[in-house]
Amino acid sequence: RLRSFLDARVALFVISWPMGCAPSGSLRVGVHRDYHSRFVSKCESDSVVRRLLSRGISLQQLLELYIELSVAGTVCPGMRTCQFVHDAVVPKTSDERCAFMDSQFMHERGGTHFPHKLISHSWGDELRDTVLTAAIDASQLDPQQLGEWLDDGTLVRRLKSSSEAACLSNAYWLCYLAVNQHLSSCNCPQYHAGHPGCESDKFDLVMSHISGGIVVSLGPDLGALRRGWGMLGIGT
């Protein structure tokens, strides 16, 4: 069916040329192959975007994950996001070689959610800052109080018993949890930017499908403002 569709499109293109000016057979084959290549690339790219969009995490999952790994010693005070990816995300998905949100580890903790918002951040920022940003955005409660509850491990329980309990179901898209770090991360680029299968160059397409917009997590050094795609997202 795909071949018939492509042949029909090329045929329409060829017969629209002026009489006597139709391209040669070799050119027609070239046009067909070029169209086929671009069509397949577009389909693959769209498929990647759909997969990325499916890998959101709820606020409750994010908070419980942070607290669980803090208790286990995997997350320590002052840990940067890049270190978290190295120490937790990659090891916990090494056997499955999948995105963190697609892993069995996260499946056992509720699985994926379609995101309401995308959080832009810097990998050089503290992981705590990004997690706290999600809690502040979702609950609209006092940031200092939320930070204290996050640090003492009671934030989920306190939100559940508050008037803002519904905010725990809000879902966010975080690149380090949604992108398969074994395929197209900055550290392991099996697919380079521009390749239809690359996941790390399609954040603008992901953002275009998220109705709630973008939340920017700014650390003390304002690192997110130095990321090109982050600035693109802010202006979208």
Per-position pLDDT tens, the chain of length 236: 433 333 433 333 333 344 445 455 554 555 445 544 554 466 777 888 999 999 999 999 999 999 999 999 999 999 999 999 999 999 999 999 999 999 999 999 999 999 999 999 888 999 999 999 999 999 999 999 999 999 999 999 999 999 999 999 999 999 999 999 988 555 555 666 777 778 888 888 998 899 999 999 876 665 555 555 555 555 55
DSSP characters over the chain? -HHHHHHHHHHHHHHTSPTT-PPPHHHHHHHHHHHHHHHHHHHHHHHHHHHHHT-BEEHHHHHHHHHHHHHHTSS-TT-BHHHHIIIIIHHHTTTTTS-GGGSHHHHTTT--B--SEEEE--TTSBHHHHHHHHHHHHH---HHHHHHHHHTT-HHHHHHTSTTGGGGG-EEE-HHHHS-TTTBSSSSBSS-TTSTT-STT-HHHHHTT-TT-EEE---TT-GGGG-HHHHHHHH-
What integer pLDDT is reported at residue 43 of this predicted model? 75
